[in-house]
Every structure is written in structure tokens, then in C-alpha cells.
Structure 1
Amino acid sequence: MDMTTVGDPGLLDTLQHEVAVFARRAEQTRLGGVGQVRNTMDRAAYLLLNRLDKEGPMGVKALAASMGIDSSTVTRQVAPLVDTGLVKRTSHPEDGRAVVLQLSPRGVARLDEVRLSRRQLMAELTHDWAPEEREQFCTLLTRFNTALSARTTVQGVPATEQPPAS
């Protein structure tokens, strides 16, 4: 079935345009929060630290798989986080030869600081939204991101290697 004929073409054009505008504005502002913390952590670092915080210590391959990106990308992105003391490498508890990545206490504190700043930004941007509207937007954005992720998985191209939105 040709998916471009499903639904209102004008609505689909508006949707693709608004997604492109969102991607550009999100990258321009980096949605990095407010105050002094604004834009002090890039997207890749935030996503890696957030994943380690939510899922706990793990190896590079497991982290890459859970994020849907290549192991070499994770290795490259984790290096500065280790250098700055936000992530530490430790030996795997069952296999001392394997390396496990985990948040350091400094990494936990830094992630909390950035999350608070970003939470404040989201509150500012949606201050006049009803709680139900925020919840609906989160639901729909999560659904949209899940569909994008599934599409890149099916096509076999990691999301990090997709061409940027224009």
C-alpha cells in the first residue's frame, strides 16, 4: 500500500513540515535547558548518561544495542564522558576481562542538574498547556519516536547514520 495516499495529503504535508521545523529548532536551541546549565551537555552525552542512569551499568555493546546505535559510536561518545569523570569504566563482576560502563557520582549529579534545567525549559514552553495536553503530546511524541526507531531498525540503518532533517 502506498502510505502517501493514506489520509489527507495536505495534513501529511503539514505534518512533515512541522517535524522538519521542530528538528531544526530543536537543533538550533538544542533544547538544552535554562539558566547557566543551558547547552552545557550535548544530546549524545545526555542520552548516554540518561540510559546508564535508567538501565544501570552495562558494556559498550549492550549500551549500543539499547540505544539502537553502533558500538563504535558509543565508544567514541563515551570517551569524553570518561575523561571528564562523568562515566567510569569498571570490570564486569562475572568476567573481570570485560568492561562495564556506569555513571560516576559526578555523572549522577551532573545529569540531575541538566535534567532539572531541561525540565524547567519544558515547563516554560508548555506553561499554558493543560496537563492533559502535555500528557497527550508525550504519548504522541513517544509513539512517533517509536515508529521512527522501528523504521530505522527495519531498514538496517542506525538512527545516528540517518541524514539530518532539512
Structure 2
Amino acid sequence: MDMTIAGDTGLLDVLQHEVAVFARRAEQTRLGGVGQVRNSMDRAAYLLLNRLDLEGPMGVKALAASMGIDSSTVTRQVAPLVDTGLVKRTSHPEDGRAVVLQLSPRGLSRLGEVRCSRRQLVAELTTDWTPEERQAFCTLLTRFNVALSARQNTQGVPASEARPES
């Protein structure tokens, strides 16, 4: 079903093209930041560490549900983070068979470095923007991401194909 509104076709063509260009450039640079930290953490690791920081320790299933991906994907993506000491696996206090994932002090420090580097990159890219323009872009990009996520959820996109959210 074509939901294009008459007269909007040209604008929607430009928008879809710019979203495609953004996705390609973001993946090429990984919006990694600047300085020594640039590109030093892949997207999946960043999003997992960020989620654990924001929501606290949780099990694999809860983390997967929170990010809109399946448990096997989380397990696979968390393994190198545990191996490098960025995430700790501990037993659940009430059910020793269950595993709880939490950000290690090293993981928190590393996440802070990456956030700072990425923040600096975004500041550089938007240096000539007003605070209102930055806020408007953030609001619209968040709204766009929420709409994409909702569409994935209603269309039954397999979790393994869905991209992790922030």
C-alpha cells in the first residue's frame, strides 16, 4: 500500500536517499569519534555496554528483550566483552543457575571514553548548528528510530535481522 501523500513524493525521495547515505556513512565511520578512541568499539558492543550502564545488571533474556534482539545474538555479542573484561558474568542472587550480566569497572571506564570521543565528533559535525537545531535533529531522529522499531515489531522482523537499539 502506497502511503505517499500527493505532492510529497519528491520530498520523500530526498528523505529516503539521505537516510540511505547517512546509514552508509555512519557504518563507514561507525560514528566512532575522534582521537585515539576513534572506531575502537563496534556498534554492537557500544549498544550493549550502554544498555547495561543505563538499565543496570540483567540477564541475557532481559537484555535481549530490552534491545529487541534474540538471546543467542546477545550471548554471541557479550562473549568477547566478557573475555576482554568489559562485562562481568555473575550468578543471579536468587537463582544460582541464571546468569546476570553487568558492566565491569573497566567496561564503565571504556564506555565513558567512547562516549566522550563520540560526543566530540558530534560536536564537531554540528559546530555551526544552534542548540535549537541540535535539539530538533535529536527529537526527529529519535522519533524516526522509534517508528522504525515499532514497524519492525509489528511486521515480525526476526530479531536476528533487527538492529540493536540504543
TM-score range, shorter chain: over 0.9
Give the partner amino acid of 1:116.
C
Higher mean displacement: 100-109 or 152-161: 152-161
Cα RMSD after superposing both structures: 1.5
Determine if the alignment matches structure 1 residue 37 to structure 2 residue 41.
no
Question: Where does residue 48 of structure 1 map in the other structure?
Answer: 48
Determine if the alignment matches structure 1 residue 61 to structure 2 residue 61.
yes
Question: Where does residue 128 of structure 1 map in the other structure?
Answer: 128
Q: 1:42 to 1:154 in 2, by over 3 A?
A: same
TM-score (norm 2): 0.94
Question: Aligned partners of 2:15, 2:92: CA distance in 1, in Å?
Answer: 46
Question: Aligned partners of 1:53, 1:106: CA distance in 2, in Å?
Answer: 12
Give the match's secondary structure for 1:115: helix
Q: Is the 8 A contact 2:70 2:159 kept in 1?
A: no
Question: Where does residue 138 of structure 1 map in the other structure?
Answer: 138
Alignment of 1:1-166 (within 5 A): 2-5=2-5, 8-158=8-158, 160-161=160-161
Q: Is the 8 A contact 1:56 1:102 kept in 2?
A: yes
Question: Which ranges of 4 or more aligned residues in structure 1 deviate by more than 3 Å?
Answer: none
Give the match's secondary structure for 2:144: helix
Higher mean displacement: 154-163 or 46-55: 154-163
| 1:4 Cα offset (Å) | 2.4
Identity value in percent: 87
Question: Aligned partners of 2:159, 2:34: CA distance in 1, in Å?
Answer: 27
Question: Aligned partners of 2:106, 2:23: CA distance in 1, in Å?
Answer: 30
- Give 5+ residue unaligned stretches, structure 1: none
Q: 1:160 to 1:16 in 2, by over 3 A?
A: farther
Cα-to-partner distance string for 1:8-38 (whole Å, 9 max, x where unaligned): 1000000000000000000111100000000
Question: Aligned partners of 2:133, 2:159: CA distance in 1, in Å?
Answer: 28
Q: What is the count of residue pairs matched by the alignment?
A: 163
TM-score (norm 1): 0.94
Cα-to-partner distance string for 1:22-81 (whole Å, 9 max, x where unaligned): 000001111000000000000000000000000000000000000001111100000000
